[in-house]
A = this chain, B = another copy of it.
Amino acid sequence: MESLSPESIGHRWVLDKGECSLLGVFGDDKMIADTARVSYRKGTKQTSTDKQLIRYLVRNKHTSPLEHATLRFYIKAPLFVIQQLLRHRTFKFNQSSARYSEMLNEAYVPLPEHITTQDAKNKQARTEDKISEAQYVASHMAGESDNSFENYQHYLKEGVARELARINVPHGTYSELIVTCDLHNLLHFLALRLNPHAQYEIRVYAEAMLDMIKGFFPATIEAWEDCSLKSFTATGTMQEALSLAISHVQSGIDWSEAVSVAADSTGWVSKSEKDQFIGWALTLKA
């Protein structure tokens, strides 16, 4: 398969036929630190290193200096992934138009190992359990999208305008776009889309993007990984439960039981919050 990407400073193949390229970067860690320092000009000494200052900014969510860095990507992805991407409203997009030009006659077909069952608990997710007929479903899906593109070509040959001939192409059809965004909002996007609850098919794009930008903002990315990706936000109620659990441990109970007892004696609005607290608290066992 030949890449459709324009000249780039980073390139990754994604999914079966997708691509993600880093086309340009404007700014670096130093620019971010220098932008923050404009606040302090007179009357304060510059004592912190760039790395410390950036950690401070990211940890305290003083993220305005990160907005001054700009990144430019080329992305080839299925339409349903692009629809999720378009929800990020600070991004700038230019997408190939199915009115102006013929669509790529390529659709996403999942590998059998990715065709897994619906998660019964987390209603928006899928499990890791392969369905029994995965091989058959994968080839059936491939045949279905092939048929759709034959029909698309057929409609075009009948003279149907492009904007109308495309109405039955699969929602997994690949399309291309240029995305330009600032670093603050890109990291917000990545935090959402790297999350295990994000759909696998967009998560792999987020992983490719993070991988390509890491080297350009080492201090910022490191701070963000610790202060955002690995962070946990405890609600007021969770902090009460945590206090309780600590006091139980002091009375000699084991941590797992302390967490469980504390959770049971705390008033929660919903069971999901209690479960989230317990899940997190148990990771604190050294």
Residues of A near any B CB (own CB < 8 A): 4, 6, 24, 26-27, 31, 34-36, 38-44, 48, 51-52, 55-56, 59, 64-65, 67-68, 70, 72, 78-80, 82-83, 86-87, 89-90, 92-104, 107-108, 110, 114-119, 123-127, 131-133, 137, 140-141, 144-145, 148, 151, 155, 158-164, 166-173, 176-178, 180, 182, 199, 223, 225-227, 229-237, 239, 242-244, 246-247, 249-250, 254-255, 269-270, 272-273, 283-286
Contacts and interface: CB of A to CB of B under 8 A. Distances in A.
21 contacts: A26-B26, A36-B94, A39-B94, A39-B97, A40-B100, A40-B123, A41-B101, A42-B96, A52-B270, A65-B94, A70-B180, A97-B124, A115-B164, A117-B159, A126-B163, A132-B159, A137-B160, A148-B148, A163-B199, A169-B170, A246-B249
A123 B4 CA distance: 22
A243 B259 CA distance: 13
A167 B99 contact: no
Given A172-B167, A232-B234, A83 B83 contact: yes
Contacts of A272: 56
Nearest to A80: B167
A250 to B, nearest CB: 6
Contacts of A94: 35-36, 38-39, 64-65, 68
A281 to B, nearest CB: 9
A98 B80 contact: yes
| Protomer copies | 4
Contact of A133 (B48, B158, B231): B158
B110 A284 contact: no
Given A80-B167, A132-B158, A246-B286, 11 more contacts: A42-B96, A43-B100, A82-B83, A116-B160, A116-B161, A118-B159, A163-B199, A167-B171, A168-B170, A170-B170, A231-B235
